[in-house]
Structure 1
């Protein structure tokens, strides 16, 4: 039996691929303590989207954008973000640190697309407020996540705490992470308003 991906079953197929992907990367992670800490937000978001699917179905574009972060963060959880084999990118651009986590933060901003879509399709507000709210939503999530990382690093201590914090010796790491989240939100909102008239409605 041949199973094909269609517009209607795209979210389901994406979720099935993620379940297999998650299970495989849950085998022998670099640090089980770090893996547990990092997959908690991934599972929370995945289960939230799965449980609310019948209440509100986002467009396939929104699901694809949100899935990018879920998959990316799962990879980071397996290796720990600073140790993901990402050296070829660092070498290509001459970076002094592993920026795998920065890409992850940028992709957090992709959720602004889904938030804007939700607000407009539910007719909860107008386009300007929806756009600004979606941007500020991501910025608040970014700040909250940095606070949680700091709290965990202090509470856990040791190598696991440092791995979750992931600063790699950069004293401005938290600020740069929040900037990456914000830039990702601006990118996804621009994408929404360039193509959202056509893709913003489901699917």
Structure 2
């Protein structure tokens, strides 16, 4: 049945509906409710921002798909706590000494460089080179800011909740490695943007 809705709006609406169902399922009986709140507040904020601005600025379907990856991974991490996500198959296969699911989550944060670059390009706010650099530096700044927030929460919450939210798993270079993963994720999608983004990105 034709709803009269533009075809381009159906995919993000479908994606949003699936995510709400997924998020709702994982909101039930998480491992640690206080950590769940801390991990899910950013998800709620990003999701609501995208919903509220949808009619004013509609990103490409690829941009929405990339943004959804982080929301899904972060929702999983919020349910189990990142250090305890069932990731044993990958850990055992590569012989890792720690659960690296959090690294995957951080890598996906970098995917938000794509919609940032798309927004700047379509609004014609900057030269293509400046657009890419701004998107990359924005993610790097966000990564550093989030590590500071993790530190503050760990200190304020203390105990097991603080340790689980920090998720360092004994790695003294955890914060630096997380920021590197964010940066690598951003670089990856900016290369993708060079070939798939708006034509005036060239």
TM tier, shorter chain? Answer: over 0.9
Give the equivalent residue in structure 2 for 1:191: 192
Map 1:58-137 onto structure 2 (within 5 A): 58-137=59-138
How many residues align structurally? 197
Instruction: Provide Cα deviations, 1:102-158, integer angstroms capped at 9, x if missing partner.
Output: 000000000000000000000111100000000000000000000000000000000
Residue 197 of structure 1, CA deviation: 4.2
Deviation at 1:8, TM superposition (A): 3.1
Using the size of structure 1 for normalisation, the TM-score is 0.94
> Higher relative CO (CA 8 A, sep ≥ 6), structure 1 or 2?
1
Aligned Cα root-mean-square deviation (Å): 1.6
Structure 1 stretches of 4+ moved >2 Å: none
Which residue is equivalent to 1:152?
153
Q: 1 CA distance for matches of 2:38 and 2:182?
A: 20
* Residue 11 (str. 1) matches residue 5 (str. 2): no
Counterpart CA distance in 1 for 2:195 and 2:55 is 27
Structure 1: which 5+ runs fail to align? none
